[in-house]
Structure 1
Amino acid sequence: MRHPPRSGLLVVAGAIALIGTAVVPVVTAQAATPACTVQYSVVSQWDSGFQGTVSITNNTAALSSWSLTFDFAGGQKVTQGWNAKWSQSGTAVTAVNESYNGSLGTGASVSAGFIASWSGGNTPPVTFKLNGTTCNADAEPSPTPTPTPTPTPTEPPSDGKAPALHVSGNKLVDASGATRRLLGVNRSGGEFMCVQGYGIWDGPVDDAAVKAIADWKADTVRIPLNEECWLGLSNIKPQYSGANYISAVKDLVARVEAHGMTPVVELHWTYGQYTGNSAGCSDVHATCQKPMPDMQYSPAFWSSVASTFKADPAVAFDLFNEPYPDRATATTTQAWQCWRDGGSCPGIGYEVAGMQDLVDAVRGAGAHNLILAGGLAYSNDLSQWLTYRPTDPAGNLAAAYHVYNFNTCASESCWNSTLAPVAAQVPLVAGEIGENTCSHAFVDQVMKWFDAHGLSYLGWTWNTWDCSSGPSLISAYDGTPTSYGAGLRDHLRALNG
């Protein structure tokens, strides 16, 4: 759903356990200010890989371009990077500026990130050179770096109250084998607040706010996210990105689970410039809904998310909010091929990550969590979902569908012809249902049909917006419903009360 306006990856495989941040502090000799300083940080680490960042500050004359070099000593190998062109030869690593961040004035800083594999040890590099000049020290004496703090393992954010769901035939079942449905709401904010520079969430997400959702008798909360904020890219304010953003997401997931509800973390806004048919924005950054996820960052996002939550089977993963490659390509076949396989898709100017790439990223991280994958036409078209569904080695993949009163497939006849065949083979979750009428007559029809077929649905959205500008379920975060939201609230209470 769009929002009301506001002022070549190598996936690291193996068993993964997220750990705390390790930082190599800036070290200087007891002399004049060094020509440049570099701070090297390990944001997260797992059994065979890690996510790192470098922050470079230029203390001399302004530079029109830059190249940072350093050596790994522990068998590390860079497999993916952002905000710089990364390369590695043997132990020597080079990061060269992108076209948009080459200028580095006196006192200016720039950050870049990467994902790398490691084996045997993950010793941080000691010497960094910017355009051939050694950073963090004068020529003599050579500084001795502070030892890297030992990372502290972080437990998965679960207290065990939320069910661990998996696919069984065309049903979702819990650990006891009982059939479950995902019935609840979306909690928008994490996809747009951070990239717009306002914060991380739109409104409160404390225990009282989450309890208000549970009081509607919801059993699921879908949480839209932003890949640039999760990965900590340099265009996002530091206080709203990277480790701070990840921590906030983990805290919200824990609160949702503490109230017995299933958290669905979902990739909503992504990188990649698209200005074609139905473009939401012309910005290359993750500031609107793009037609498909990007190969540059989206697999890295899912590898990191999967490593964060892989030990918590109560968390479900929704791969990508609303694909619409059909608006860019010439044929439906091209659109479905783009959806599944990614690559160079007609009409889309960036390299696309297909659904198979994202499934592979999740499973390559060692996560067996439930995965949802939405179809074409903003997830409103599932007509060829079964034909093109990605291969999931874990066998834990469900179809996702979105429907609003203004969509093409928004009638019982379309649901019978296109949704029922999918639902007969795999679990089907309507990740977003809603209408822009400030009423609930349409969602009442949706819920009636989905109830009759034993399917799942989540209302858009638990935010206090004007329900006519964007379907908003509430007028206050204590759970006071809008005239539209009252329909979902009363229905959930009748089902689960």
Structure 2
Amino acid sequence: MNLQSIRRTRWRAGVVAGGLAALLATSMITAVSAQAAAGCRVAYAVSSQWTGGFTANVTVTNLGDPLTGWNLAWTFPSGQQVTQAWNATVTSSGAQVTAANMSYNGAVATNATVSFGFNGSWSGSNATPTAFTLNGVTCTGGVSGTASPTAGPSRSTSPSPSASASTSPQPGNPMATVAAMQPGWNLGNTLDAIPDETAWGNPLTTQAMLHHVRAQGYNSIRIPVTWSNHHGSAPAYTIDTAWLNRVRQIVDWSLAEGFYVLINLHHDSWQWINTYPTDRTNVLARFTAVWTQLAAAFRSHSSRLTFESINEPQFTGASGDEQSYQLLHELNAEFVRVIRQSGGGNATRLLVLPTLFTNADQGRLDSLAATFTALHDPNVAATVHFYGYWPFSTNIAGGTRYDSAVEQDLIGTFDRVHNTFVSRGIPVIIGEWALLNWDHTRPGIIERGEFLKFLEAVGYHARTRRLTTMLWDAGQFLNRGDLSWRDPGVFAMMKASWTTRSATASSDQVYVPRTGSITSKALTLNLSGTSFLGLRQGTTDLVSGTDYTVSGTTLTLTAAALTRLVGSRAYGVNATIAARFSSGEPWPISIITYDPPTQTAASGTTSSFAIPTQFRGDQLATMEARYADGTNAGPANWTSYKGFWDHFQPDYSANTILLKTAFFAEVNDGAPVTLTFHFWSGTRVTYRITKSGTSVTGGIG
């Protein structure tokens, strides 16, 4: 993540993972072969297995007439599930699985083979399927004959989440490697912090922390590293030994836990690499020297260690995108040359190359695709970052909800990346993803239920496009102090999205007025292929027909149920219930008592102006600012909606809404401004302010 640009650049990125799966012919794999009257033979191999998960590769040999399309079907004997696939479209119904050809591998000549692979989940045992059908006909291994299928030796399972190097995809199989890296996690704001590991507030990395992350189900770890403050001057640019040893220690700990590991040049991108257009000789020499030393230091490490050339590359003073594309091509090509010529494990190590700004606009993708063509290196992957639709990611311009604009931005991004790279057999890693302003130190910017919808959608759309995702976590998700998730429900939704869909609803909040009669309230369900099972409060099931009704996708809570749930009708959340579905995470619903918020007159200065606000159980969603003539006031004047926390900030404990200095910096002197505060209950409150020099006065509208 680039701290200089993250809040002013609309990042659109997506990534993909998938590829041609090679069979591992060793005693450590499970294999089954069968013979078929229709002329087909199947080899099924488990190339990697860990607690709860595995990677399998399938090769089909066509012994009959040429095929123009195919689907292979089988039944898992132990209830396994496919969670991610490459080189085939895989669908499941219970234990029955069907893999269909992609657009590029449907034609299979007589005696030719086609291969695909997948990641799966298992519990109890991971027995091998014993029969396959190709286009509806049983595979038995020959043009005729009905020989019984034979199964090879079963692979032993291990209770440890760690995987040894011997169970990793073989070097030279980047699609399988990137698929096996799903899901991934970033050790953010740590070794990339300036000037050292703890400078940005995170504690020293420990083996216990890495073990905890691995045990949560993450298969890869991206370790961003900033080298700028840790090497000497020209011409050698010698890396500080203590720093290199610390990086090596964390890499080695991570590999020992069974992670795939990715290291890079991180904030170096804007500290010195960005001057490449005007300081070509020195930047190239420094870039080459740093990667030469890293190549030497890690040349004998496991193939599960991967290298990323540059984080979010950018070039100050470039004439435009075309020059920037050429400059990035030069650096990426130099990176590949340096690593490959160092030999050892680096000769086939997976190398990860970014787009310009690690952005997923089509021009950026096309430029990197041209680099891959020119390099003609079989062991490379692409990377982009994805922080969602910018207004939603930062809560500006009214971007408070996960709506169709947010969804289409996500789908468009992932489709572009898939079509540019994955469909051509090039794996891609979403090296960072999250929402820019989801942060435990700035609560309320992104409403929790809307964030849950985003998490569920990212997981689904990435998985169905075979994209490997690496969560950006700078401390906002995992509390590294006590090794707990800051919001367990947020992590649970993310984890569920790795393997299945979860239903959501139009809101996770139901507001009930504190006074007056209580009426029924309705929510719209987004079932996402699931079936509604019921509502539960704690361990008690609510009663269908009495407490709620469901008609199509409309869930209605009855007045009687709401009256019971709000109890004494104290302001705020009085009860939490969960909508349960046939798969995925339950959807939480908070039952909230409120009255419309009230505000009173105030005076202050442009550096300290707080509007007295009685929230009365409600929560602030956003704020608009307009002059008397209707034009937009304040910063970001292309919209009436201002930036949550950047321009205004609620303080629920102090019963105030603070208007920030940055807001007043762009408000006209002497011109009254009408503020409209939007609350999550649907209530709107207006307030008028006037700035005169550094003085500010305000009152109710």
Instruction: Tell me the TM-score normalized by structure 2.
Output: 0.38
Which of 474, 478, 485 is equivalent to 1:474? 478
Answering whether residue 292 of structure 2 is matched by residue 297 of structure 1, we say: no
Residue pair 2:264, 2:308 contacting (<8 A) in 1 also = yes
Q: Distance in 1 between matches of 2:294 and 2:373?
A: 19
Q: Distance in 1 between matches of 2:484 and 2:258?
A: 21
Residue pair 1:271, 1:294 contacting (<8 A) in 2 also = no
Deviation sequence 1:155-203 (CA, Å, 0-9, x none): xxx97477366453x72349xxxx6243110002444445258569932
Which of 462, 471, 485 is equivalent to 1:450? 462
Residue pair 2:360, 2:416 contacting (<8 A) in 1 also = no
Amino acid at match of 1:414: T
Q: Distance in 1 between matches of 2:387 and 2:270?
A: 26
Answering whether residue 411 of structure 2 is matched by residue 412 of structure 1, we say: yes
1:488–1:161 CA distance, 2 compared to 1 (3 A): farther
Residue pair 1:184, 1:458 contacting (<8 A) in 2 also = yes
Name the SS for the 1:172 alignment partner.
Answer: helix
Residue pair 1:191, 1:269 contacting (<8 A) in 2 also = no
Deviation sequence 1:439-493 (CA, Å, 0-9, x none): 34334322211100222110001x32xxxxxxx2223444422345454344458
Aligned twin of 2:435: 435
Answering whether residue 365 of structure 2 is matched by residue 383 of structure 1, we say: yes
Q: Give the share of equivalent positions with the same residue, in percent.
A: 15
Moved more, 449-458 or 405-414: 405-414
Q: What pairs with 1:259-278 in structure 2 (closer than 5 Å)? A: 259-270=257-268
1:269–1:493 CA distance, 2 compared to 1 (3 A): same
Give the Å deviation of 1:417: 3.3
Q: Distance in 2 between matches of 1:328 and 1:172?
A: 39
Answering whether residue 242 of structure 2 is matched by residue 244 of structure 1, we say: yes
Aligned twin of 2:214: 214
Residue pair 1:270, 1:298 contacting (<8 A) in 2 also = no
1:205–1:163 CA distance, 2 compared to 1 (3 A): farther
Q: Distance in 2 between matches of 1:361 and 1:261?
A: 25
Name the SS for the 2:261 alignment partner.
Answer: strand
Q: Distance in 1 between matches of 2:470 and 2:270?
A: 28
Name the SS for the 1:316 alignment partner.
Answer: strand
Q: Distance in 2 between matches of 1:332 and 1:4?
A: 19
Deviation sequence 1:209-263 (CA, Å, 0-9, x none): 11111121000000011223453559xxx9xx71111111111111111111111
1:478–1:259 CA distance, 2 compared to 1 (3 A): farther
Amino acid at match of 2:310: F
Residue pair 1:191, 1:225 contacting (<8 A) in 2 also = yes
Aligned twin of 1:365: 342
Q: Distance in 1 between matches of 2:337 and 2:201?
A: 29
Q: Distance in 2 between matches of 1:273 and 1:413?
A: 32
Deviation sequence 1:315-369 (CA, Å, 0-9, x none): 10011111234x753443222112102xxxxxxxxxxxx2111111211222221
Residue pair 2:309, 2:335 contacting (<8 A) in 1 also = yes
Aligned twin of 2:305: 315
1:162–1:457 CA distance, 2 compared to 1 (3 A): farther
Aligned twin of 2:384: 401
Give the Å deviation of 1:269: 1.9
The structure in which a higher percent of residues are strand is 2
Q: Distance in 2 between matches of 1:188 and 1:473?
A: 11
Residue pair 1:303, 1:364 contacting (<8 A) in 2 also = no
Residue pair 1:340, 1:356 contacting (<8 A) in 2 also = yes
Answering whether residue 162 of structure 2 is matched by residue 163 of structure 1, we say: no
Name the SS for the 1:389 alignment partner.
Answer: helix
Residue pair 2:455, 2:497 contacting (<8 A) in 1 also = no
Q: Distance in 1 between matches of 2:296 and 2:201?
A: 23
Q: Distance in 2 between matches of 1:232 and 1:494?
A: 49
Unaligned 5+ runs, structure 1:
6-157, 285-289, 342-353, 465-471
1:415–1:269 CA distance, 2 compared to 1 (3 A): same
Higher relative contact order (CA 8 A, sep 6+): 1
Q: Distance in 2 between matches of 1:361 and 1:201?
A: 34
Name the SS for the 1:322 alignment partner.
Answer: coil
1:205–1:494 CA distance, 2 compared to 1 (3 A): farther
1:198–1:434 CA distance, 2 compared to 1 (3 A): closer
Q: Distance in 2 between matches of 1:459 and 1:301?
A: 26
Q: Distance in 2 between matches of 1:159 and 1:416?
A: 34
Residue pair 2:385, 2:433 contacting (<8 A) in 1 also = yes
Residue pair 1:359, 1:390 contacting (<8 A) in 2 also = no
Superposed CA RMSD:
3.9
1:387–1:360 CA distance, 2 compared to 1 (3 A): same
What count of residue pairs does the alignment treat as equivalent? Answer: 300
